[in-house]
Amino acid sequence: MPVKQPKVLLVYPPPQLMDIEIPRPDGSLGLLYIAGALRRIGVEVDILDASVGTVEDSLEETFYKPVMQPNGLVRIGMSADRIKEVIARGEYNIVGINSNFTPQTRMALGVAALAKTVSPEILVIAGGVNTRSSIPRFLNSGLVDIVCTTEGEKVIVEVIRKWSRGQFLGNVAGIAFKSGDGFVVNPPQSDTTYLNLDELPFPAWDLLPMEKYERIAAPHEGTSSPNEWRQLRHAPIMTSRGCPFRCSYCHISNEKDDSKLTGEIGVLRLKSVERVMAEIEMLRSLGVRRLYFEDDSLLAKKSRVSTIFERVAGMGLSIADINGVNLVHFLINKGSGKFEIDHDYLELLKSAGF
């Protein structure tokens, strides 16, 4: 059987939101790591942020052209016909879709429908927190072929290797797919995810439409004024994965409880400081001057992140914001058995631009 040449399009679907919400592009890290993993094995891959479109699309025809839908939510971004045209013209045979949040389910399935309209033979893969939390809805749609149930860097490589050779995909670890009237869920194996994060592929930040993000000046990770964001190119970075805590409201704790489905992705894992600095150097080479730390528990090991912040400040970069910081992260045990606010650490964050 001849080997098929994969050509992959990874899509951030158009957002839909209430008319009182501030629209923002996506550009989050999930698809950037997937693109990096594909590049590592020589697969051609593109990224489409459908909220802003390709270099051929003007923001006036995408981001700045909101459409009120019958469901009362505003749709932001490329039209359905334009998304379909990009998929067809690019001759993509695999489309990966990111869906992290429940309100975007309909938009993710909409992209899947467009891909299948272009060609029923296109392999459609969906991943993200919302996707793996809603496996029946995505697979029952008849539009999504595979749901990734864990971190996807190794999963996507294995799927594409088998797909390229015409091999059966149903034995790939860390995926779910429809079988008859039910579903098959293959649990991740011990080697399905990266425990040593220094072995991760570098995110493909260069595939993001950064010029458009700068013009919009409303990054998904920031609340600063538009003028401030226009002055400095920004990008997300993640120095760790998982979290040491168990909070009842957090999906990470649920993933720890459901490790048979998601694997060990809830376990705290840290990149070395050297790996983090290599990523920051890459971002700086792309013109990035403001960093948003997307770690779920960045401050879990304060001495480590103190070193990172000090180096960032020494490079002339600033910190835009930090994801997921809770009061408990600023506490320190003075040895008395009682925890107190670590004011020195708060000052460090302030000096680093946070």
For the record, the structure tokens of 240 come out as 């760790």
Output the DSSP codes for 295-349: -TTGGGSHHHHHHHHHHHHHTT-EEEEETT--GGGGEEE-SSS-EEE-HHHHHHH
Q: pTM of the full predicted structure?
A: 0.89
Centroid of chain to Cα 80: 22
Euclidean distance between CA atoms 79 and 77, whole angstroms: 7
DSSP H or E segment with residue 49: strand 44-49
pLDDT tens series, the chain, 354 aa: 567 899 999 999 999 999 899 898 999 999 999 999 999 999 999 999 999 999 999 999 999 999 999 999 999 999 999 999 999 999 999 999 999 989 899 999 999 999 999 999 999 999 999 999 999 999 999 999 999 999 999 999 999 999 999 999 999 999 999 999 999 999 999 999 999 999 999 999 999 999 999 888 776 555 545 555 455 788 999 999 998 888 877 878 777 887 788 888 889 999 999 999 999 999 999 999 888 889 988 888 888 888 888 888 888 888 776 765 554 555 555 555 554 555 565 666 566 555
Q: What share of the chain is helix, strand, coil (3-state, %, to 5)?
A: 40, 20, 45
Contact 96, 31 (CB under 8 A): yes
Distance CA 16, CA 298 (A): 29
Nearest to 176 by CA among 126, 116, 242: 126
Calculate the alpha carbon distances from 246 to 253, 254, 310, 319 in Å: 5, 9, 29, 27
For the segment 61-82, what is each residue's pLDDT rounded down to a tens digit?
999 999 999 999 999 999 999 9
Query: CA–CA separation, 246 vs 265, rounded Å?
Result: 13
Residue 15 is classified by DSSP as P
Spatial separation of the C-alpha atoms in residues 257 and 250, rounded to whole Å: 11
The most distant pair of C-alpha atoms in the chain lies apart, rounded to whole Å, by: 69
Residue 83 structure tokens: 């998304």
Q: Are 27 and 49 in contact (CB under 8 A)?
A: yes
pLDDT, residue 298, reads: 85
Instruction: Give the whole-angstrom CA distance, residue 88 versus residue 84.
Output: 6
Long-range pairs for 157-161: beta carbons < 8 A, 24 or more residues apart = 157/37, 157/38, 157/40, 157/41, 159/123, 159/125, 160/6, 160/8, 160/38, 160/41, 160/43, 160/94, 161/41
Q: What's the Cα-to-Cα distance from 341 to each of 151, 331, 346, rounded to whole Å? A: 34, 5, 9
Closest CA to 130 of 152, 98, 172, 96: 98
Q: What are residue 178's DSSP bridge partners?
A: 183
How confident is the model at residue 336, as a pLDDT?
53
Q: Facing residues of 177 across strands?
A: 184
The Cα 172–Cα 159 span in angstroms is: 7
User: What is the reported pLDDT for 28?
Assistant: 92
